[in-house]
Amino acid sequence: MLSLNQKTLKETIKIKGVGLHSGENANLVIKPADVHSGINFCRVDINPNKLIKANFKNVIEPILCTKIQNDTGITVSTVEHLMAAFFGEGIDNAIVEIDAPEIPILDGSASEFVEAIRSVGIKEQTEIRKFIKVLKKVEVVDGKKYISIEPAEDLIVDFEIIYSNPLIRTRRKEFRLSEGNLSEIYNSRTFCLYEDIDYIKSQGLAKGGSLDNAIVVKGREILNEDGLRNRHEFVYHKILDCLGDLMLSGNRIIGHIKTSQGGHALTNKLLIKFFSDKSNWLLESKQSLNKDKKTSNSIKKTISASI
């Protein structure tokens, strides 16, 4: 994943499915893109000439999903699982065309996006990939919720969930990018409590939700016939969401993230605060990240327009 050069797809991918919250059917076409272009979404049902940059600055209403909007008000929502697949598979540049307001939820995880990417293959490009190196600790506290980022030589996501539900309870797991094993995180599905469904639907959400694309927990029971895919599926899905939201930074982050009861909104608040002060970070190539710490200050790069 920490390869030297930027990457894109070898060929175009086509995927279709229903949106979790909108309930609308969507056709997704993911195309290769040029170096330094990043990840861009395009609502072909509205204006095929207007892109929506996958960037944390474009996030709006991050409630139960991540929605991004361009300067003309065109939006696309639930981008986080696809962005997590791009993150894990090393895709830096792609154009995502969609004819609906929401990315298909598929099975509620990132596994089908990953399979599609692997089926067409990945193309290594000619330009060097850059990484965001964390220089100072930054934290956001929102009541009992907490998230922070601090310097490290790896991307580490330490995630804790706390639920009063007797089945989910308190769980905590850590992901390290250097270990490179994302299979269980990719396969972990979104979840909700049975008693929350009526309220979620009253907010105009989860119109496309079902046991085919979400885990539903009722007391000590999982309503899905096949149960959990792995014993840490709840917290692993939260890590999946977090990785997808971090991909909105425009470049992969090298730093240690710690969060308790985090989510889309909290991660976005962290990114906004972190990038608001240029003394918090450096944009570096892999070679510079591997150099001695004493020389790292001499290799500060020009900040790309995507950040």
Which amino acid appears at position 95 of this protein?
Answer: I
What is the 8-class DSSP label of residue 304?
A: P
Rounded Cα gap, residues 169 and 162, in angstroms: 6
Question: Would you tell me the crossing angle of helices 111-120 and 80-89 to the nearest 10 degrees?
Answer: 40
Q: Is the dihedral of CA 279, 285, 291, 297 positive or negative?
A: negative
Which CA distances in Å does 34 have to 8, 40, 70, 145, 185? Answer: 8, 11, 20, 39, 28
Q: Is 264 a catalytic residue?
A: yes
Name which of 92, 55, 81, 66 is nearest 182 in CA terms: 81
Q: Which member of 81, 237, 256, 264 is catalytic?
A: 264
Q: Are 62 and 265 in contact (CB under 8 A)?
A: yes
Residues belonging to the active site? 264
